Every structure is written in C-alpha cells, then in structure tokens.
Chains A and B, each alone.
Chain A
Amino acid sequence: MNWTKISFYILLAVVLAGALIFYRWIFSYLIASMIFSYILHPAVSFLEQRRIPRWAGVIMLYLSVAGAVAWFTSRYIPELIAQGNNLFTLLSHEGGLDVSSIMQLPFVNGIYEYAQQLDAQIPGLNASSRMLEMIDGATDFLVKLPKFLLDNYSSIIGAVSFVFTIPLISFFLLKDWHKIRKAFLGFSSNRYFELSIILLSKIDKTVGTYLRAMLFEVIAVGTMASIALSVVGVSNPVLIGISAGVANIIPYFGPFFGGALAVFTVFFDGGPFLSMVYAALAMYIVQVIDNNIVYPVVVGTTIDMHPLWVLLTVLAGGWYGGILWMLISVPLVFLVYQLVRVLYTNLKEFRII
C-alpha cells in the first residue's frame, strides 16, 4: 500500500471520527426514525406499486396515522388521564394507602381475622403481627411507585420535540429509501458487495418484520386486555390493557406484569377475592389467545431465548436505561444475535474468515 492511500485512509478516519462526534446528539433521533421507517416502509412500497409516488405515499400514511392518533386522543385520552389519576390516588399515600386502610379491605380483613384466630389457638405463632409487618413493607414500596412513574412521565413530556422530529426525518428516509440503500451498498467493495446485499436483506427482513409484528401484537394484546377487563368489571381497564400490551414486549415476564396490575387494581379497589380470580383469568385468556393465535400468525417464530437469559437481559436493560431499556433490551439483544449469526455464516461461506 502506498503512502497516498495510507494518507487518504487516515484522513477518512479523522473525518469519520469528527462526523461521529459532531452528530452524536442525533443518533437517538436517527435510530428512532429508522425504526419508524421500517414499520411504514411496506405500506409506502405498496402504494408505490400502485403508481403513487413515495413522497405522496408517505404523506398519505402520515395523515392516516395522525387521524388515528387524533381519534384515539379525543376518544380515550381524557378517560386515560382520569384512570391514571384514579390509579395513582389508589396507590398513593394521600389516597389512603396505609396499613389501617388496607386492613379495612374485606379480603385482607378476612385473612387478618383468620390469623388472629390461629394466634389464639397456637401460642407464639404471631401470624397477625407478621402479616401487619408484611403489609407495612409492601405499602412502603407501593407508595414510592407513583412518584417513580410520575418522574418517568415528566421525561416523556420532555421528549415531545423528539416525537415531532422523528416523522420529519422518517419522511426523507422513506421517500429516498432506494437511493439511501444504493448509496450505502455503493460504499462496499466488489469483494463484499454480495455479502453486504445479503446482510442488508436480512436486516430489512428481520428488523422490519419483527418491529411490525411487535407493534401489531402490542395493539392486539392491549385491545383484548382492555375488552376482557371491562367484561369482568375491573376498574381502569384501558390503562391496564395498554400497560399490559406494552409490557408484553418482554417475553415470559411481561405478561405477568399485566396480570399482576389487573389483580392488584381489584385488590386495592377492595373487590372480593372472586373478582381477583376473574381478572387473572381474563388476562390468562388474553395470553392464551396471544400465544396460540396472534403471535404464531403475526411473528411466525418466538424469540428463541432461554428464560434465564431473558431475565438477565431485562435486568441489565433496567440498570442501563430504566423502563424503556427494560422493554427494548430483549428484542435488541435477539436482533443483534441474529445478525451476528448471519454475518458469521456468510463470512464463512464467502471464505472471508
């Protein structure tokens, strides 16, 4: 290699490093826009096949999405806010979540009376006092929960500019999809061109299909859970349904969150034990439908990860970046694993390694 080439590559590396430093603030915007574009790309291509240019297709889709969001907002947001306030009040100190108020709940009171009877019959058991200690500990944890949720909501509100910028960047990504793809592949040398095309196709297929499937599943589970909880008479069904739908992204553990939220809502509402069973049963039926119909049909294959690996990934995601990363860490790790596997296989087949 001659000095001219070496100098050029050094210059290129310096320019790239400079660009990375300069543009580092917008990486999150770019990644979010790419995710948004992957979700909408098939619809834009579908319209393009029917003689609607990409720019017009993107605008049509944006108008449709904006219409759907506007309808959902006008129809459900006031109700959701009311349900959210209701749930927070239920879980907050001011709303009466202390040991004495919990002891007034019929279900808890029944258990407490039974524990007192046991204490009378078995000297030294102290079941009733231990029960009071347990409730006190659990109350402390739950009292901190609304503040934690509210803190996260404030950061969500702070990200409004983020949300409004994404469609703008996505517009250009979608409009010039083919040009960007061609430009990206244009950088690869002839030796790596075919490999790059295979990888890009795999990324398109894996990431695009997975993201669209997850979005559909979140909506499906959210809708089914809201309807099921309304039918069994759980309060705040839409909010719990949406939370269950979003939590469903985490395999194995996500579904438990939705179920637990529904059961705890009935519990703190002072509902009878049977209502808790109905709530759990409703969420179980939703999961059965999701696991046996929605997921196999929409996603095709499940995320083939060991439950322990999923648990460790969720924990690591939580430590790294809070609730958002807990939700995205499992799909992210799965996708990276898939891509590394495809890369390794093809590097071997092309005899590069």
Chain B
Amino acid sequence: MKSIYDWLISLFHKPQMYLGYRVFRIFQELSSYELYLLHGIVHQRSFKANEVLYETGYPMEVIYLIIEGEISLNDVEHQIGKDKVLGLWDMFSGAKRNSTAIAQTDVSVYAISRSDLMELMEARPRLGMKILQGCCAEIVQDALILRAREH
C-alpha cells in the first residue's frame, strides 16, 4: 500500500534530491519527473588531481558535469570548474575527443553516457527539446566567454 501511495504522490511531485541537477544550465528547464528520469542514467565519479579524464582521439561517449574541482583542457588556456559541462562540443562534433582533459584538483563529476542521453531525448521529445535548448545556451555562453578572454 505504501508503494502505491508513494507512486500516486510521485506522479505530481518527485523528491527534492533530483533538483540538484538544475544547477547545470543544460538541465535547468527540466521538471522534477524529467530530472528523476535523468537520474537513472547519471553516474557519479571522482578523479584525483592530475588524473586524466580523457585524451585526444579517444572515442567520445561520456559527458562530464563538474560538481566540484577544476579541470584543464589542452586546447583552451583557462580551467573549467564547478557547474560546467565537459565534452558538450565533442558530443555534437563527432565520434572522437578533440582535446585532453586533466583534473587540476580533486574532482567530483556526474558522468552521462551520450547513448543513454540520446535515447532518453528520443523517448521524450519535450525533454529532448529542453536539453537541446540548454545545450545551445551553454555553448553560446562558452563562446561569449572565449571571445571576452580573447579581447
């Protein structure tokens, strides 16, 4: 009976624990239920300082959402930190990594498989639209930051 009650409640409201994903721009517009579905494919991982996340030429499968710590990329001068997404450009640009990512400090990340994310987006097009809008916003913001640094 408790399971049935929990389910009825969950139809309208999912626990607050999933709302943490909204700090990432690409998931900002997702509803609590969509975040709950997303939670099914999110893996939490930790990297020590100087540990390599991936290298140029590796197959592209996972995008990393940084919860804590700093990561450097070989193709940009600055470091990438908290609440940023790593591998977003690669996700749309091809099957191989275009850069090497190394943890500068101890890093905690959410890792999401591209295949799982695409499958989820295909299964729920509305959720897919929201994530795509979020991705566009994130990429535009990255481009603006890069331009500002160049000037």
Contacts and interface: CB of A to CB of B under 8 A. Distances in A.
B138 interface: no
A56 to B, nearest CB: 6
A350 interface: yes
B58 A53 contact: no
Given A45-B123, A49-B37, A56-B7, A182 B113 contact: no
Contact of A178 (B41, B55, B62): B41
B78 interface: no
A55 B45 contact: no
A165 interface: no
B59 A194 contact: yes
A44 B123 CA distance: 13
B93 interface: no
Nearest to A185: B43
Most buried by A among B11, B41, B59: B59
Nearest to A42: B123
Contacts of A55: 3
A185 B58 CA distance: 19
A197 B62 contact: yes
Contacts of B111: 193, 197
A119 interface: no
Interface in A162-192: 178, 182, 185-186, 190
B7 A201 contact: no
B61 A53 contact: no
Contacts of A53: 3, 7, 10
Interface residues of B, number: 27
Nearest to B127: A49
Nearest to B46: A190
Given A51-B11, A186-B43, A201-B116, A193 B37 contact: no
A350 B56 CA distance: 10
Interface residues of A, number: 22
B24 interface: no
Contact of B58 (A49, A51, A56, A350): A350
A198 interface: yes
A341 B62 CA distance: 21
Which secondary structure dominates where chain A touches chain B? Answer: helix
A194 B58 contact: yes
A174 to B, nearest CB: 13
B43 A49 contact: no
B88 to A, nearest CB: 16
Contact of B47 (A45, A185, A190, A349): A190
A48 B33 CA distance: 10
A182 B53 CA distance: 19
B54 interface: yes
Contacts of A235: none
A139 interface: no
Interface in B114-151: 115-116, 123-124
Interface in A46-62: 46, 48-49, 51, 53, 55-56
A190 B51 contact: yes
A346 interface: yes
B94 interface: no
Contact of A201 (B10, B58, B113): B113
A55 to B, nearest CB: 7
17 contacts: A46-B123, A49-B124, A51-B33, A178-B41, A185-B43, A193-B45, A193-B111, A194-B54, A194-B59, A194-B61, A197-B62, A197-B111, A197-B113, A197-B115, A346-B59, A350-B59, A351-B55
By Cβ-Cβ distance, the 6 closest A-B pairs, closest first, are: A178-B40, A201-B115, A197-B113, A53-B7, A349-B59, A194-B62
Interface of B: 3, 7, 10-11, 33, 37, 39-41, 43, 45, 47, 51, 53-55, 57-59, 61-62, 111, 113, 115-116, 123-124
